[in-house]
């Protein structure tokens, strides 16, 4: 028997920002002070129209066979007034695989958003993106050829 490895990936994302509210007002948390160095910044609950992803490129990550089949990373960063992520503000909030998180961070500069709007003016907004990838190794008996495209499903993450 010959083992042929195949990886299947899926990614999903969300532009939901974690918010801190007090008595109905949207406030920045102490940890958000690092985002203020380039000027005013808001969370999604403090804008009229939150930033919305237009293009999120695929993450270039090729896992080596390991204990993990589901990879995830949550990033937080600022989207500027023209809809570009400010890569210098990006930080990993949580991940189950640091190499995957670094690959997601490396793809951030190619992402694009419709910027947040407040009072009719584009503003900087803190955004959280959740990226997930699942992978699996498929063993195929020698001589049987590769599995058909829909016959093998990656694990749910």
Q: What is the pLDDT of residues 102-114, one digit of tens each?
A: 999 999 999 999 9
- Identify whether 13 is part of a domain: no
- Identify whether 9 is part of a domain: no
Structure tokens at 25: 């007002």
In this prediction, residue 150 carries a pLDDT of 61
**152 Cα distance to chain centroid:** 25
- pLDDT band, very low/low/confident/very high, at 7 (cuts 50, 70, 90): very low
Residues in the chain: 157
In this prediction, residue 149 carries a pLDDT of 63
Rounded CA-CA distance 18/23 in Å is: 16
- pLDDT band, very low/low/confident/very high, at 8 (cuts 50, 70, 90): very low
Structure tokens at 133: 């990838």
- Identify whether 141 is part of a domain: no
- Identify whether 154 is part of a domain: no
- Identify whether 92 is part of a domain: yes
Q: Which residue has the higher pLDDT, 148 or 73?
A: 73
Task: Report whether pLDDT(18) > 70.
Answer: no
How many domains does the chain contain in total? 1
Q: Residues 6 or more apart from 72 whose CB is under 8 A from it?
A: 94, 95, 96, 97, 100, 130, 131, 132, 133, 157
Poorest-confidence range of 12-26, 41-55, 108-122?
Answer: 12-26
Q: Which residue has the higher pLDDT, 118 or 14?
A: 118
pLDDT tens for each residue of 37-88: 888 999 999 999 999 999 887 788 887 766 667 899 999 999 999 999 999 9
Which residue range(s) make up the domain with 83?
Answer: 20-134
């Amino acid at each position: 028997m010959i083992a042929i490895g195949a990886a299947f990936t899926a990614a999903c994302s969300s532009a939901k920002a974690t918010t801190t509210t007090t008595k109905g007002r949207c406030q920045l948390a102490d940890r958000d002070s690092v985002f203020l160095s380039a000027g005013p910044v808001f969370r999604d609950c403090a804008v009229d129209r939150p930033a919305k992803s237009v293009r999120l490129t695929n993450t270039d990550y090729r896992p080596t066979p390991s204990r993990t089949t589901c990879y995830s990373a949550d990033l937080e960063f600022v989207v500027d007034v023209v809809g570009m992520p400010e890569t210098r503000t990006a930080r990993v909030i949580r991940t189950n695989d640091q190499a995957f998180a670094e690959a997601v961070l490396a793809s951030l500069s190619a992402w694009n958003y419709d910027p947040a709007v407040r009072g009719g003016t584009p503003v900087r907004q803190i955004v959280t993106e959740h990226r997930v990838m699942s992978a699996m190794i498929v063993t195929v008996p020698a001589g049987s050829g590769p599995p058909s495209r829909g016959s093998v499903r990656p694990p749910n993450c």
